[in-house]
Structure 1
């Protein structure tokens, strides 16, 4: 397929459930477990356990209807506010939060978290805590100056962004522009936690391929530093999956804080 025919994540709809099933499920045939589930959960558990990142508000700006990256965070923040630009993603996430019939099953991710924390007996409590912490799931528009106008959010203590910046950016200038918008939602001294796919040009959801901005570790670091972030932690894991659904080369995890 010619890359110019790829769809764009933020202008075309996608099958939110198919995306979760192919990249984040507990299906034995799901090829991405090591990169999309284990690597993020291990690093988030480690970082939040240190106790340095905490506060009142955590803002989540991530691709799809992901939940697994919020399990460790719910122990450190009173409220989690999730921003989505897709109605289908909002409905998918709210179905899980409200424990509706047919919601996507995230129990495998919860188990990974509690096992790493050495609290396997708290599996059910972990699910309850995450659901309780997600106070709001709000519709946003990445092109607006205030992405959730007319609502004005209080500055966040921390932002987590999982795979979104490269999905909504056509080029590197877009990536930096959106990163700047996201960072304006953060308190001075607040933390930004970034997960991204390195060297990735497309992702397949159902029968459709979506454009993804390809970048490397150096670009990600410079983009954050250019917005006055100080990088505290950075880990990269090479691709382990064997699949033609997507072509990423590795996963990057960065923790940075905003200069006061």
Structure 2
């Protein structure tokens, strides 16, 4: 794929509300209910509930201003730190965490999170708890040795990746390099959760086409192994979305720890 014909998320950015409306809204015609909510939120909830993922600091690196996968994390980590490559996405997240007028309505995911936890009558408490757990929303720059310079971050007990490496990496070499940069934020023995889309080349925001790195399950397994990670769980779910907004064929959920 010619990346020059596609915009890059971390370079060109996109309108965060357009992204949320297309990929994360509660409208009936939103095609990504399985890939954006049902499947990943269940997988993240089950992983956290296992007791293997807990500690002081969790760092989330995800594409767009999303928060739905973090509901399950708040009970297992004292502080959640979110990293974003654009100010626009940071402002969108902060609008929600600060309960400002015009913030995106995530109530449909709050409801799903409480149903997964078996306490569907505690939606308000779940949302308040997550907002309190998110301590910082920080911009990162791939060109800096310290990705968040001048801000120094504590090393994390867990890193979460959600559709991020694919959107900021031009090729497989950069995919590995960028993962290596982020993995420096992890403590020795720390764990990761990874959620991504396989065999995808683009995604649309409005009329604009954005770059998405095409890779497969074998590429992911090789990278993690070569970077010193032991995979504890990996599964692939076939696409259910019927839309031409993205051309992926499946999504992958993976957990691993750093040797």
- Kept in 1: contact 2:3–2:170 (CA 8 A): no
For 2:41, what is the secondary structure of its paired residue?
helix
Q: 1 CA distance for matches of 2:253 and 2:81?
A: 21
Q: 2 CA distance for matches of 1:100 and 1:13?
A: 23
CA displacement, residues 185-204 of structure 1 (integer Å, 9 cap, x when unaligned): 00011011111010100000
CA displacement, residues 74-106 of structure 1 (integer Å, 9 cap, x when unaligned): 110000001111010001000000000110111
Q: 1 CA distance for matches of 2:150 and 2:92?
A: 24
Q: 2 CA distance for matches of 1:2 and 1:105?
A: 36
For 2:194, what is the secondary structure of its paired residue?
strand
- Kept in 2: contact 1:85–1:140 (CA 8 A): yes
Paired residue for 1:168? Answer: 168
- Kept in 2: contact 1:87–1:139 (CA 8 A): yes
Paired residue for 1:29? Answer: 29
Q: 2 CA distance for matches of 1:50 and 1:121?
A: 23
Paired residue for 1:114? Answer: 114
Aligned residues: 259
Paired residue for 1:220? Answer: 220
- Where do residues 1-260 of structure 1 align in structure 2 (5 Å cutoff)? 4-259=4-259
Q: 2 CA distance for matches of 1:190 and 1:134?
A: 19
For 1:57, what is the secondary structure of its paired residue?
strand
TM-score (norm 2): 0.98
Measured on the aligned residues, the alpha-carbon RMSD in Å equals 1.2
Deviation at 1:3, TM superposition (A): 6.0
Moved over 6 A (4+): none
- Kept in 2: contact 1:16–1:89 (CA 8 A): yes
Q: 2 CA distance for matches of 1:147 and 1:104?
A: 27
Q: 2 CA distance for matches of 1:85 and 1:241?
A: 27
Distance 1:85 1:4, change over 3 A: closer
